[in-house]
Homo-oligomer: A and B are copies of this chain.
Amino acid sequence: MSIAERDTLIKKWLSEIKDYIIDQKDSNLDVEQKTADNDLVTRMDKSIEEQLVNKIREAFPGEKIVGEEGFGDEVNSLDGTVWFIDPIDGTLNFVMQQENFAVMIGVYVDGIGQLGYIYDITHDKLYSSTKGDGVRCNGQPIAKPADLSLSKGLIASSSALMCKDKYPAVRTVGAESLGVRMLGSAGLESIEVAKGNVSAYIASNLKPWDIAPGLLFMEELGMIGTQFNSKPIDLLNNNNIVFATKNAHKDIIDILGE
């Protein structure tokens, strides 16, 4: 199957998932805590991942799947085709707000991003990329953002980085920017960088499925995604990440490295 055909098929799946979420979102979500009060999983997260995993296994038998909720595979290498699935990114928002969450899919081949999808369900905006074709919103190409330096743009970050003291340098980064925005969804914040609404997104301890599609978006738009120490992101492990314009990335790494 060609990349274009895969893209068409994945978009069909995502459209089905959207209808399912809209239909089910006012029903009982069976909210459970995973590791903390603010680390939640719902019946919907599990069901959506299971549906996607079943579709992938039927259409692409033998390809590897890295999923948040455990329906995928044990993946120890990025060789071959690897799917990254986040059925609901921003589950806390999903539970508390019934909006501001995203469904995310990334497809990598031998560690290289090929296809990426971040679907803002309640606003019905699907951001997608096939390698070499840039980033599109509902099929329309989005412009490459201006290469703003840190001091000339807004940034996005996470509540944990702002309120807790593990990486205080991130607050310094925030203070040197025009201002910090926080949406509570790595997917939606990756979109904000891709659109140029913010010049950077800084977050700690993100999982591979939080990162995979956004990292492809960065590459497609001439922006940069690395770890805090500027090393390449490792999609087999958790990462502290910076997605940013080239100029802001340099400024941010300088501060984080101090």
Q: Which residues of A contact B (CB under 8 A)?
A: 33, 36-38, 92-93, 96-97, 99-100, 143, 146, 151-154, 159, 162-164, 171-172, 174-175, 178-184, 195, 197
A159 touches B179 (CB 8 A): yes
B183 touches A174 (CB 8 A): no
Q: Tell me the nearest residue of chain B to A151, going by C-beta.
A: B37
Q: Copies of this chain, how many?
A: 2
Additional pairs, 8, CB under 8 Å, beyond known A37-B178, A92-B178, A163-B174: A38-B179, A92-B154, A96-B153, A159-B174, A163-B171, A163-B175, A181-B184, A182-B182
Contacts of A174 in B (CB 8 A): 159, 162-163
B97 touches A197 (CB 8 A): yes
Q: Tell me the nearest residue of chain B to A153, going by C-beta.
A: B96
- The 8 Å CB contact of A154, one of B33, B96, B154, B178, is B96
Q: Tell me the nearest residue of chain B to A197, going by C-beta.
A: B97
Cβ distance A98 to chain B, nearest Cβ, rounded Å: 9
Indicate whether A99 sits within 8 Å of B163 (C-beta atoms), given known contacts A33-B146, A37-B151, A184-B179. no
Contacts of A159 in B (CB 8 A): 174, 179-181
Most chain B CB inside 10 Å of its own CB: which residue of A36, A163, A195: A163
**In the bound complex, CA of A221 to CA of B126 (Å):** 34
Contacts of A36 in B (CB 8 A): 146, 152
**In the bound complex, CA of A171 to CA of B143 (Å):** 36
Cβ distance A45 to chain B, nearest Cβ, rounded Å: 17
- The 8 Å CB contact of A180, one of B154, B171, B182, is B182
Contacts of A180 in B (CB 8 A): 159, 162-163, 182
23 A–B pairs (Cβ distance < 8 Å), ordered by A: A36-B152, A37-B178, A92-B178, A92-B179, A96-B153, A96-B154, A96-B178, A96-B197, A97-B195, A97-B197, A99-B197, A100-B197, A159-B174, A159-B180, A159-B181, A162-B162, A162-B171, A162-B180, A163-B171, A163-B175, A164-B175, A179-B184, A182-B182
